[in-house]
Chain A
Amino acid sequence: MNAKTLVKLATQAIRKNKMRAALTMLGIIIGVAAVIVMVAVGYGARSRIQEQINNLGTNMIVITPGAAQASGVSQGAQAFPNLSLKDVDKIRSQSQYVAAVSPVIVSRTVVIGPAGNWRTTINGVDTDYQTIRDWQTATGDFFSADDVRSNRKVVVLGNTVAQNLFPGQDPTGTEIQIRNSVFKVTGVLAPKGQTASGSDSDDVVLIPYTTAATTLSGRTFIPQILASTANEQDIAAAQDEIRTLLRESHKIVDQGDDFTVKNQADLATAAASSTQVMTLLLAAIASISLLVGGIGIMNIMLVSVTERTREIGIRMAIGARGSDVLIQFLVESIVMGVLGGLAGLAIGVAGAKILGHFTGWETSISPLIMLVAVGFSGAVGVFFGYYPARKAAALNPIEALRYE
């Protein structure tokens, strides 16, 4: 018998018991649909996080005080005032791989403009910050190195702050008040959107770190140092170099680091782990469904073999070999698996579209995944159909013919 005849036979047999076949395929359908949604959502979440991480800047390295825990979460890092401007200078002057470095002195306070007040984050940074974060100005300019050296009261506004203090106006060249001091606005930053954790990257104002240290906090320690390399390959080397330099600077010999150096990939991994729970859950549903679906196929095929014992006897009497019968039943369970896979694929694609619509995530399913999903359903058919098919093939034609 050729493949066409076998598939025709299988579909005929399945059509004779439509309801039964549909219920049998349900497990496979749910399993494949779960896989498809999982892959689509996983892709959507990953690409969104990737986008947000890239938004932070290019080839960025983040140095924070305090040692990292095994899980990658630094515990109470800000409690150790052990990064200083000296460290920044050491990295700037001695590192070969670091192309740009900037301290970030963070404080939160109210800024006052002509249209009202706005509570926001003040970041005291160096000019390199613009390079590291790859953050262009929408209007005006970033403050200059001279501004930094001279402790000038200049400020670059984040898009959100600009819109709230100067609705419908370009604030460049005007002045705002930050904690009793008047700052000149040199420019407004281009919008960056949400961060990976969901906060607004544009709700910020940038001032020279020198000004921040003297005017705002009066503190000399630095909660964060950002650095970046000229290209991606240098990141690992730069991290090692920064570690060495900081250990030297902090006079650490035998103990562990009292600071943490992370790159964007580390940040991405941490952010991705949150979506992993959902992915794992869907994967568990998918594999259990496929298993249960496969057992369902095996069960129905066993019933089918018993029901069709006489048919098997007839086929054997007129010359079918055991292998002919085996292949016939195997093809039937494969067809059932593949049909279930296709139905699951359709439902999964529709489900992913709907989910994407509500979450605003970009969902994408590669043709390869579709092929794998359907192929795997067929494989489930082979695996769980083999035993019943073997049983059919091993029947004795005389007894099979006599079966009522």
Chain B
Amino acid sequence: MGDVVIQTSHLVKTYVTGTNEVHALRGIDLQVGRGEFVAVMGASGSGKSTLMNLLGCLDTPTDGSYQLDGVSVEGLDRNALAAIRNQKIGFVFQGFNLLARTTAIENVELPLLYDRTGRKRDTKALAIAALERVGLGSRLEHQPSELSGGQQQRVAIARALVTEPAIILADEPTGNLDTRTSVEVMALFQELNQQGITIVMVTHEPDLAAYASRIVEVRDGRIRRDEPVKNRRSAAEDLKDLGDEEEEVA
């Protein structure tokens, strides 16, 4: 693979609780190239959440190395990790994790406000552009409570996009959504992926993994399966089949 975004080698994470040692990850070697759409699958307890936290620079590995977009992450302190999360990673969570009583624009603007690189940017304009990109140009001033679940997740995706990160990390992004809305979110991911955005999505639903271009299955802290998706599904076409009902986001 020419342009590598994620490069881990022998990534190990061990939690020590009292006298017990929990081996969450037992050596993960993973490479994700730019423009890939990877689904990380695994049952609960498989270590996929731990992997997600490590890839998201929310946690540091016990052993092994991790390079994100050419930067070695191991050994960095809290502040440096915060800066990397801010600039290189866009998070999309299961529970949306938007700030309540805060408008869509302000939610999307938030990562730009924590940018310490000193760039002078029109944060509001960038936030509006990101919201338009996910089809929420008409909901700029709405607060999360005034938006549907699908719309909230789109705001979260816009927030992930706004910093132009090297990678979007989505953790069960459709866990709180109904089938139709889930497919809509997948359609958006596929669209963004086609525009060249790298996506790593954690899911336990094989149906959703089928929209990705590659599946990585984690079990007992190791990668058990890593293969391209055969018969990749197109979310846009599935939506047509779901058809008759009106689309939620006009």
> Which residues of A are in contact with B by a Cβ distance under 8 Å?
1, 5, 12, 16, 310-311, 313-324, 397-398, 401
Contact across chains for A319 and B83 when beta carbons are under 8 A apart: yes
Contact across chains for A317 and B114 when beta carbons are under 8 A apart: no
Q: What are 26 A-B interface contacts by the 8 Å CB criterion?
A: A1-B114, A5-B113, A310-B97, A313-B97, A314-B97, A315-B114, A316-B85, A317-B58, A317-B91, A317-B93, A318-B91, A318-B111, A319-B83, A319-B85, A319-B111, A320-B82, A320-B114, A321-B79, A321-B114, A321-B116, A322-B79, A322-B82, A323-B79, A398-B58, A398-B59, A401-B93
Closest CB of chain B to A340's CB: distance in Å? 23
List residues of chain A with CB within 8 A of the CB of B114.
1, 315, 318-321, 324
List residues of chain A with CB within 8 A of the CB of B113.
1, 5
For chain B residues 92-146, which have a beta carbon within 8 Å of chain A? 93, 97-102, 110-111, 113-116
List residues of chain A with CB within 8 A of the CB of B56.
317
List residues of chain B with CB within 8 A of the CB of A321.
78-79, 82-83, 114, 116
Categorize the interface residue count of chain B.
20 to 34
Contact across chains for A311 and B111 when beta carbons are under 8 A apart: no
Q: Of residues A1, A317, A323, A398, which shows the largest number of chain B Cβ atoms within 10 Å of its Cβ?
A: A317
What does DSSP make chain A's interface, helix, strand, loop or mixed?
helix
List residues of chain A with CB within 8 A of the CB of B83.
319, 321
List residues of chain A with CB within 8 A of the CB of B98.
314
Closest CB of chain A to B1's CB: distance in Å? 27
Given contacts A1-B113, A315-B114, contact A322 B78 (CB under 8 A): yes
Contact across chains for B99 and A314 when beta carbons are under 8 A apart: yes
**Which A residue's beta carbon lies closest to that of B111?**
A318
Indicate whether B87 reaches chain A with its CB closer than 8 angstroms: yes
**Which A residue's beta carbon lies closest to that of B99?**
A311
Contact across chains for A398 and B53 when beta carbons are under 8 A apart: yes
Contact across chains for A318 and B85 when beta carbons are under 8 A apart: yes
Contact across chains for A397 and B58 when beta carbons are under 8 A apart: yes
**Which B residue's beta carbon lies closest to that of A323?**
B79
List residues of chain B with CB within 8 A of the CB of A12.
101-102
For chain B residues 68-98, which have a beta carbon within 8 Å of chain A? 78-79, 82-83, 85-87, 91, 93, 97-98
Closest CB of chain B to A313's CB: distance in Å? 8
Indicate whether B154 reaches chain A with its CB closer than 8 angstroms: no
Indicate whether B48 reaches chain A with its CB closer than 8 angstroms: no
List residues of chain A with CB within 8 A of the CB of B214.
none
Given contacts A322-B78, A398-B59, contact A317 B101 (CB under 8 A): no
